[in-house]
Amino acid sequence: MESVGAIPRKEIDFATLTADGLWSTFVSKSCYGGALAYAVLSRANKMGCLCSVSLEKNQEKRMKQRECWYEWCSLACNLLWARRVSFKLVSQRTSYKNRILATWTEPETLPLTAFSCSEITIPANYVARISSLVVQSDSAKLLDQIVFCANDERQMIISDIWLKIKEEFVCNALWKPFFEFTFSEVRHIHPTVHDIDNLSLQTIADTWHRIMFHLGKLFSSPLLLQKIPPDNHSVWIKCICSPSFEIPISERAIIMWTWLVWSSNPIPFFINAKLRAALVDLPNSSTESRATEERLSLLTTLRAKRLISNSEFKSKRLCILGSL
């Protein structure tokens, strides 16, 4: 029971906070927000947020600081992370005990286990929906975020991003990717299906990693790197059915279908870089040079998108150049 005359605690549902709601908490003196702001912003700064880590005293500077925060939280992964870490800090620190009643009303998303790269067992049409995510604007942005969040503190919310992908795309009957091909081996595959509510997050994520495993080999194949791309029959015979690519018979049709979709549509930057990373292992020196250029280009883009700091950019650039 709260003592007579005590200031009632402010109840905050961190699961539903927007970037503006989090900022309002940061600037609230009654919520001890300044300390929370420092704890969150100092971590966010290491992941590309341009906000200064302490709340600015000058009104104009604080307005600019707030705009930087809003811009950083415009990425779903950053907002999801900010909610989670803020809730964790407020729940665990005794200094907030009499100031904030922290709640989290959304169901907890369990962390995913180590990803399996075993053979795909779900129907091809289901896999086609998961493959289609990469060439649809909104879902592609979320997949791209999963790739670059895997290497920093934001990996704690990767399962939350997968849940968002499942609910808004894969298992959402209103999402209808439409890709059809006349190539005989894949013409039976259609991504527009509606009865897949029973797919678990783990299954969706495992299937995605299996697709990336196979497509990485295709994107780094010398045959498919030629200036004049081979026809579909050549890709099928020389790549998909080649023992060197180790694609099981049960997966060949859906991997070919995925290749047809991905090779004819723009691929998000970070996913594309991950697919091309296999080029580093090829023995050809010109290929190695091209792979190094791509790594440097990726690094430059990370800095431009404010996902790494200038100091991180310089140190990583030196490591890449030093490996030549």
Of 36, 38, 141, 46, nearest to 99 by C-alpha is: 36
Collapsing DSSP states into helix, strand and coil, what is residue 13? strand
Per residue, what are the HEC states of 166-177? HHHHHCCCCCCC
Q: Which helix (H) or strand (E) holds 35?
A: helix 33-45
pLDDT in tens, the chain (324 residues): 444 445 678 899 999 999 999 999 999 998 889 999 999 999 999 998 988 899 999 999 999 999 999 999 999 999 999 999 999 999 999 888 888 999 999 988 888 887 778 899 999 999 999 999 999 889 999 999 999 898 899 999 999 999 999 999 999 989 999 898 999 999 999 998 767 878 999 999 999 999 999 999 999 888 888 888 899 999 999 999 999 999 999 999 999 999 999 999 999 988 998 888 755 443 343 445 556 667 777 777 777 666 677 666 666 666 665 554
User: For residue 117, what are the CA distances in angstroms to 29, 147, 156, 196, 210?
Assistant: 50, 17, 21, 21, 5
Tokens of 275: 């697919």
Tokens at 2, concatenated: 């709260």
The predicted pLDDT at position 6 comes to 57
Contact call for residues 313 and 299 (beta carbons, < 8 A): yes
Does residue 218 contact residue 259 with C-beta atoms inside 8 Å?
yes
Does the model's pTM come out above 0.85?
Answer: no
313 φ, ψ to 5°?
-60, -45
